[in-house]
Amino acid sequence: MKLIPKTLLAAVAVLLAAASAHADVTVGVSLSLTGPGSGLGLPMQNEFKLWPKEIAGQKVHLIILDDASDPGKGVNNARRLVTEDKADVVIGSCITPVAAAMAPVLAEAKTVQLSAAPVGVPPGQDHWLFRLPQGFNVMAYPIVEHMKKQGVKTLGFIGYTDAYGELWLKEITKQAEAAGIKVTTVERFARTDTSVTPQALKLAAANPDAILVVASGSGAAMPEMALVERGYKGKIYQTHAAATQDLMRIGGKEVEGTYVVSGPAVVAEQLPDNHPSKARAIDFVTKYEAAYGKGTRNQFAGHAYDAAVVLEKAIPIALKKAQPGTAEFRAALRDAIETMGRTVLAHGVMNWTPEDHWGYTNETGVLLKVENGQFVVVK
């Protein structure tokens, strides 16, 4: 038996170390590219096409799967990404029910989940879950503050029957009641419903001073149109899941005057010069619209942009402890995201901590108004 020369062994060791040092960072993505959530998922997919090819000298390997707006498919995607594809981090989904269904799978696999939907989980169960969208409390704040200034005393609610609707109802009720605003009428509907006529009739008959619509993407216009068609004349508010061009494209003149809460990325140029996110937001909008056309900017595409900002800061920190493709790297990446401190995103200033995996502050939410088919910042 021939002995392998020590010099050859040393050379092999160097080559293996170099290969390990330049291992791909695998980023798994599950998005609603079809189904009711596609209006949110498709702009995110567009932004992923603009992502950097390398981060901290490591090639970025993106794997994008369609969950069809179905929680079951989201679960299957999450399992595939962590078992077959060995993802170092998973982004998704863009709608709350799917992202929530994925969370236990990714927690069990000890893999970071950057959710593009505001997911609520029981206390202590978000160790591996970080949210890219703003929390319900942060986004309800500017809505309630505006209602107070407008003299709103009674509020109606129409929203999804799922977790997104439930969490919004809980938060808006708490903040509204603290502001002396009574939630008088609550109506719910499924994401797949094509009509909300009975619910709209009840709300219009109750005639509260304002109504909050809790829906997303292209589905956000339908309940508002139904309310207007039934003669409702009060103020209508929408959540950040409606901060897309689909609201105006589908709703047309019937959504004129609507108030929509959003992150700052959608209205980059309208932000004051001293806003911390202005430079990031303009960078996102400039590059996105150069690729896809003027007016194509989107709240959810902004979340995909912000995910890259997060990883560009966290990956170099994690690389000091371990290499991609290992459990040690996934744990180091989680720790880096949780402790990397103040980070300016296109959607606000993020500061995740061990106690807070939502991260944004009350300065984050921007209230918009639909005027002539465009979003305008409410002064």
Per-residue pLDDT of 81-128, as tens digits, reads 999 999 999 999 999 999 999 999 999 999 999 999 989 888 788 999
* Six token digits for residue 78: 């999450």
What does the buried/exposed string (b/e) look like for 95-111 if buried means 16 or more CB atoms within 10 Å of the residue's CB?
bbbbbbbbbebbbebeb
DSSP per-residue codes, 138-195: HHHHHHHHHHHHTT--EEEEEEESSHHHHHHHHHHHHHHHHTT-EEEEEEEE-TT-S-
Mean pLDDT (the chain, rounded): 92
List domains and CATH numbers for the chain.
Answer: 6-134+289-350 (3.40.50.2300), 136-262 (3.40.50.2300)
CB-CB neighbours of 266 under 10 Å = 26
Predicted structure pTM score: 0.80
**One-letter amino acid for residue 229 of the chain:** E
Please say whether the beta carbons of 187 and 155 come within 8 A. no
| 79 pLDDT more than 80 | yes
| 360 pLDDT more than 50 | yes
